């Protein structure tokens, strides 16, 4: 996303939240799904360059840190 291109990221953990619509989400255990995502980006380079400009990254690291701190404080 930083280079105005779509990324291929795992559909697990925080990747979907962080990447928003600037990524193609894949199951890391599914090699065919990864292949299809890579092929899609190669075959549709112009689309991937345009699509990545639609949504600025909206992940808030400050908020994430505060939520994590709150979680850990609750465990003490």
Annotated domain spans of the chain: 7-75
Q: Which pLDDT does position 51 carry in this prediction?
A: 57
In the predicted model, residues of the chain with pLDDT beneath 50 are none
| Burial tier of 26 (Cβ tally within 10 Å: 0-12, 13-18, 19+) | buried
Q: Which pLDDT does position 27 carry in this prediction?
A: 95
Q: Which pLDDT does position 46 carry in this prediction?
A: 65
If we measure between CA atoms, which residue out of 31, 29, 34 comes closest to residue 7?
A: 34
Instruction: In whole angstroms, give the CA distance from residue 50 to residue 41.
Output: 12
Q: Which pLDDT does position 30 carry in this prediction?
A: 97
Q: What is the pTM of this model?
A: 0.57
């Amino acid at each position: 996303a930083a280079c105005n291109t779509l990324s291929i990221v795992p559909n697990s953990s925080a990747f979907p939240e962080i990447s928003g619509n600037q990524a193609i989400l894949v199951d890391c255990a599914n090699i065919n799904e990864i292949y299809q995502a890579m092929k899609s980006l190669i075959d549709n380079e112009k689309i991937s360059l345009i699509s990545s400009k639609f949504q600025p990254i909206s992940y808030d690291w400050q908020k994430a840190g505060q939520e994590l701190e709150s979680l850990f404080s609750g465990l003490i």
